[in-house]
């Protein structure tokens, strides 16, 4: 469910015509709907209203500080994976006690920053990381609250690049080692075990991997409590999938019911780290058709957004629906929608049925709110797109388009080359 739709033959985001935004901001441009984000967050939150819980929006999905701020106003916390994300969420006003810090490669400087900021907990992903966390905590005389991220060896049945809970993945600590890690930590006064954590992957479209993972966690949780550990938080990560094409992911309330049902005897405070399900369908990328080009085999629609703007199709062969800004009913044709980047993988859609479009027309790439702008790059020295947030009848530029000068502002030429 989202608030992008045609009115009188023209695509609107809430009460604003997309064309009006493009006239002011240009293309390519990411456009987000505040109402959609609010709705997704509320539906997700209400699904868990029967149990103690904290929603820590996974900032990596879309880390614009306006979006984080909007979610903060709805009561969200944040899941961060770098000091960059930590600074963003603090800037956006998220309470430190609602922040969890995940990620396999935290540096000691990042741990220090988070410890001093007084975050809720560190989700630790290796034995060595736990040792370093203990050292950092000792240095500041401040015990570090943590959970260990378990790798439950569960197949999330999603794209291999976004599976994280299998033994062959770099994430988390294996079940066999986890108990010993907690035992070791118990002896260190600077390490404070307060939770248990897992995240098995992203764009998961069935309940069974979640239930399997929860069952593994339950077993470990019970073992830990019988050892005398007083854990409070069960962090279940994110991963709930959305509809891009014709997927049928569980609804948030189905997902919540399954987790609550399986996990109720633990009496834990649940932490959830949704990303995609909150922002994915709340954003579009609008691009302009530059050229149409045809050969014997194929027709190409060349647009001004490339894999540097939205890498998901090139990277994961991801499907994003594409629709024209002016509603069309004419016959469809099969085309490849490609960008201007000098790479064969620079496509937004392949063999796609689209209404006939011509040079200068605008297209919307749907479902681009999560892992869109955040994964964009400056490849081919292309300035990154602008970001706009629509809230009912108003729109706000929440990130200006980069300029070409921005691209080399940090570079310098050694004087002997001048």
Q: Which residues sit at the interface with ligand LLP, rule CB under 6 A?
A: 58, 60-61, 79, 102, 162, 199, 202-203, 237-240, 273-277, 312, 316, 370-371
Shortest Cβ distance from residue 89 to ligand LLP (Å)?
A: 14
CA distance 347 to 353: 15
Structure tokens at 266: 């633990």
Structure tokens at 163: 């599976």
Catalytic option among 13, 56, 181, 342:
342
Choose between 58 and 287: whose C-beta lies nearer to ligand LLP.
58
Are 177 and 127 in contact by the 8 Å Cβ rule? The answer is yes
Peptide bond into 154 cis (omega under 30): no
Choose between 55 and 357: whose C-beta lies nearer to ligand LLP.
55
For 4-19, give the DSSP string.
Answer: EEEETTEEEETTEEHH
Choose between 102 and 188: whose C-beta lies nearer to ligand LLP.
102
CA distance 9 to 12: 9
Nearest to 361 by CA among 31, 21, 27: 27
Are 274 and 57 in contact by the 8 Å Cβ rule? The answer is yes
Which neighbouring-strand residues pair with 383? Answer: none
Choose between 203 and 213: whose C-beta lies nearer to ligand LLP.
203
Nearest to 240 by CA among 229, 251, 230: 251
Q: Quick check: is 342 catalytic?
A: yes
Choose between 158 and 188: whose C-beta lies nearer to ligand LLP.
158
Are 24 and 401 in contact by the 8 Å Cβ rule? The answer is no
CA distance 22 to 328: 19
Query: Phi first, then psi: what are they for 300, rounded to 5°?
Result: -110, 135
With H, G, I as helix, E, B as strand and everything else as coil, classify residue 180: helix
Shortest Cβ distance from residue 244 to ligand LLP (Å)?
A: 10
Choose between 98 and 199: whose C-beta lies nearer to ligand LLP.
199
Structure tokens at 251: 């609804």
Shortest Cβ distance from residue 143 to ligand LLP (Å)?
A: 23
Q: For CA atoms 67, 61, 373, 336, give the dihedral sign.
A: negative
Are 55 and 76 in contact by the 8 Å Cβ rule? The answer is yes
Shortest Cβ distance from residue 245 to ligand LLP (Å)?
A: 14
CA distance 391 to 153: 42
Shortest Cβ distance from residue 352 to ligand LLP (Å)?
A: 19
Shortest Cβ distance from residue 232 to ligand LLP (Å)?
A: 19
Catalytic annotation, residues? 342
């Amino acid at each position: 469910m989202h608030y992008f739709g045609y009115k009188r033959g023209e695509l609107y985001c809430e009460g604003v015509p997309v064309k009006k935004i493009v006239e002011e901001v240009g293309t390519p441009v990411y456009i987000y709907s505040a109402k959609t984000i609010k709705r997704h967050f509320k539906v997700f939150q209400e699904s868990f209203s029967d149990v103690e819980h904290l929603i820590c929006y996974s900032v990596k999905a879309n880390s614009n500080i306006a979006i984080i701020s909007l979610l903060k106003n709805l009561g969200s916390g944040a899941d961060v994976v770098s000091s960059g994300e930590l600074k963003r969420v603090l800037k956006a006003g998220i309470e430190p006690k609602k922040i969890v810090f995940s990620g396999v490669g935290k540096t000691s400087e990042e741990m220090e920053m988070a410890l001093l900021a007084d975050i809720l907990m560190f989700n630790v992903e290796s034995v060595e990381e736990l040792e370093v966390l203990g050292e950092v905590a000792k240095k500041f005389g401040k015990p570090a609250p943590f959970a260990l991220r378990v790798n439950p060896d569960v197949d999330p049945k999603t794209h291999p690049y976004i599976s994280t809970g299998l033994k062959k993945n770099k994430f988390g600590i294996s079940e066999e080692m986890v108990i010993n890690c907690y035992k070791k930590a118990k002896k260190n006064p600077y390490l404070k075990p307060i939770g248990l954590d897992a995240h098995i992957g992203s764009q998961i479209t069935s309940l069974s991997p979640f239930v399997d993972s929860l069952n593994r966690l339950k077993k470990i949780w019970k073992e830990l409590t019988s050892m005398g550990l007083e854990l409070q938080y069960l962090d279940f990560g994110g991963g709930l999938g959305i509809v891009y094409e014709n997927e049928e992911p569980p609804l948030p309330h189905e997902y919540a019911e399954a987790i609550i049902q399986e996990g109720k005897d633990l009496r834990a405070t649940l932490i959830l780290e949704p990303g995609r399900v909150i922002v994915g369908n709340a954003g579009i990328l609008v691009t302009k058709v530059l050229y149409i080009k045809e050969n014997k085999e194929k027709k190409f629609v060349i647009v001004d957004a490339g894999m540097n703007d939205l890498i998901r199709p090139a990277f994961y062969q991801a499907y994003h629906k594409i629709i024209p800004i002016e509603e069309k009913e004419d016959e469809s044709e099969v085309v490849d929608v490609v960008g201007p980047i000098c790479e064969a993988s620079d496509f937004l859609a392949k063999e796609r049925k689209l209404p006939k479009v011509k040079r200068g027309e605008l297209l919307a790439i749907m479902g681009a709110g999560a892992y869109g702008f955040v994964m964009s790059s400056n490849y081919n020295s292309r300035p990154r797109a602008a970001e706009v947030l629509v809230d009912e009848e108003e729109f706000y530029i929440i990130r200006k388009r980069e300029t070409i000068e921005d691209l080399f502002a940090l570079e310098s030429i050694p004087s002997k080359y001048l």
